[in-house]
Chain A
Amino acid sequence: MTKLLSIKNLTISLEGRPNTSPIVQNLNLEVNAGEVLGIVGESGSGKSLTGLSILNMLPKGVYISGGQILADSKDITKSEKKNLRAYRGELFSIVFQDPGAALNPSRTIGKLLSDVARAHEKSSKGIIRKKSIEILKDVGFPNPEERLKSFPFQLSGGLRQRVAIAMALINRPKILIADEPTTSLDVSVQKGILDLIRKRTIEDGIGCIFISHDLGVIAEVADRVIIMYSGQVVEEGPMASVLTNPKHPYTRGLIASAPSMKSSLAKPLRPIPGSLPPVGRTPSGCAFQDRCPEKALGNCNAANPTWSNDSSNQSHRWLCHSEVKK
């Protein structure tokens, strides 16, 4: 398993607001070739910012205040601006929620792809055209040779997202970040895109980070998952293990409150009481303490919780004070 990306102790803070807690705290994650890592979290969890920070695309007012992002044996956080441009596209690539926003409506599909390709490599028109057709075929785009001349508005949402993915993959990046790529698509279209992302990840040996608020979607597509709450990772591990055996109270709360194909009123949804801590005001100690129905031994706000590992699966671990083996 080649490790493509390693983030260590990443901390993202708000600029100029010294009394607020960081928006992302001490995040660690790794992505290997050919695997999809899912990041699940609700709003305010910091999941999108984590993705953006890898590409150094954090919005104004937010910055990386600590930690390292290691890829291709370099620390991205320490890179100079000019190298970052090269990384984006060749090393990393991103697909966003709204396919319409990524595609310039005044340019044809062919031009959009060649724009991206040419930003990183000067090739002849013919080679780029071949590359474009090939990548469109790879993403399951029907009739690519003819459709190169189409404009985004002529395509459906699903096709537009495929083009966006093609644009992200045309320069064969090592790491693909997908930030809620299917959230604004119809359910039947979503399935196709999820299958596509899995297929390309495995076949091209990419490391994919798939960010979503929908645990059900992540369950379909991810090999491993990290669960984020209020800027911290609270549980992580292989997808099946975390799903069948969730350990952290938040993960359990997420699963209990999410309707699934097996839901019915006979088994009511159990929402997590309370609401998320406002951004920048994560409580000290355990971030989840105010809402935890399984409050542990009074330690919750005194000290930071520590990692426990699942006895049956060492890579599945969670952050909690409670020593009761669940």
Chain B
Amino acid sequence: MRNFIRDKTLLFFSSLSMGIICIVAIFGPLFIPDPLEQDLINSMLPPFSQGHILGTDPLGRDIFSRIVSGARVSLIVSLLGMIGSLTVGTIMGLVSGARNKWIAWGSDRLIDIQMAFPYILLAIVIVSATTASIPVLIFLMVLAGWASAARVIRSIVLSERPKDYIKAASLVGANQKRILVKYIGPTLVPAIFTIAPLQASAMIVMEATLSFLGLGVQPPTPSWGGMLLEGKVYLSQAWWLTTIPGIAIAITCASLIGIGEGLSIKLRGDRRRRIDPSKTENLGSEGSAKS
């Protein structure tokens, strides 16, 4: 009973919190004052000031509005990044599970290389070669994220492949493609749903990091990472310029991770075979000889 509550609680509260963030991100910008509007007279106001619940930045822009619009940017970018990363990751994971030794080997090495490479370095190189813009940012995120998704997919494919039901499928005539798509494919779905939120949360951090380094979303478009960058120099005087976007990032990440963990606990629980006395195969011993 205790387990039930614990499993559901995490998922419930994380989903609730993420839901709120999404609603704010989608509808928020309709209700707030212009995040770009500068008001030099009212600059550097701390939170709970008149008219500015979260304060203002050095240019007098309302922090609350910037957080809300930044949310939209961060979430959309991360979502696109996550989808791209999962797509490439799943494909490469399936390729790594291929029968052909060389194809699988090649794919594995690609995964290894990508995981070993520091993505910030890569980001700097690519941004200098092109420009810092949102499409490039999304490209970087996919580049950074696909390998860990591929690894998970690959391990599932490799562990399912030797199982009897796959062998049974080839016995009735299924070719490799059919086996991957019809037999192994559906087993990947729960895993994908579990990695997705974790990838998304990594993307949020990645976006913030890259924007903080000036390689991501460019000003004046508000983004959480960008806000961190701008507030950095005022750290001792105006703590709220960095802390508030930092908290936003943290809460969003935690919610996403919570959803991922909650889902994986739930899936594991469904698969975990608890002693169900009504299924006698679990009780004592049933005549089961060696093979």
Contacts and interface: CB of A to CB of B under 8 A. Distances in A.
Do A and B come into direct contact in the complex, CB within 8 Å?
yes
Interface of A: 14, 23, 43-44, 47-49, 51-52, 59-62, 96-97, 157, 179-180, 183-186, 211-214, 278-280
A280 B279 CA distance: 10
Contacts of B290: 157, 184-186
Nearest to B284: A48
Contacts of B287: 180, 183, 212-214
28 contacts: A14-B277, A23-B277, A43-B280, A43-B281, A43-B286, A44-B280, A47-B284, A48-B283, A48-B284, A48-B285, A51-B284, A52-B284, A59-B275, A59-B277, A62-B277, A96-B285, A157-B290, A179-B285, A180-B285, A180-B287, A183-B285, A183-B289, A186-B290, A212-B287, A213-B286, A278-B278, A279-B277, A279-B279
Nearest to B282: A59
A323 B119 CA distance: 86
B283 A59 contact: yes
Contacts of B288: 97, 183-184
B278 A279 contact: yes
Interface in B92-115: none
Given A211-B284, A279-B277, 7 more contacts: A43-B281, A51-B284, A59-B275, A97-B288, A183-B287, A183-B288, A186-B290
A150 B277 CA distance: 38
A212 B286 CA distance: 8
B3 to A, nearest CB: 13
A14 B275 CA distance: 12
Contact of B284 (A60, A179, A280): A179
B284 A49 contact: yes
Contacts of A97: 285, 288
Interface in B264-281: 275, 277-281
Interface of B: 275, 277-281, 283-290
A55 to B, nearest CB: 12
A242 B35 CA distance: 91
Contacts of B286: 43, 213
B277 to A, nearest CB: 5
Contacts of B279: 279
A14 B277 CA distance: 7
Contacts of A214: 287
Given A59-B275, A60-B275, A61-B275, A184 B280 contact: no
B278 A280 contact: yes
Contacts of A180: 285, 287
Nearest to A186: B290
Contacts of B283: 48-49, 59, 62
B283 to A, nearest CB: 6
Nearest to A187: B289
Nearest to A51: B284
The residue in B275, B280, B285, B287 that gathers the most chain A C-beta atoms within 10 A of its C-beta is B285
Contacts of A48: 283-285
Contacts of A43: 280-281, 286
Contacts of B278: 14, 278-280
Nearest to B278: A279
A162 B72 CA distance: 69
A44 B277 CA distance: 10
B237 to A, nearest CB: 61
Nearest to A60: B275
Contacts of A183: 285, 287-289
Contacts of A52: 284
Contacts of A44: 280
For the complex of A and B, 4 pairs with smallest distance between CB atoms: A48-B284, A213-B287, A97-B285, A180-B285
The residue in A43, A52, A186 that gathers the most chain B C-beta atoms within 10 A of its C-beta is A43
Contacts of A59: 275, 277, 283
A180 B278 CA distance: 21
Contact of A184 (B275, B277, B281, B289): B289
Nearest to B290: A184
A157 B291 CA distance: 13
Contacts of A213: 286-287
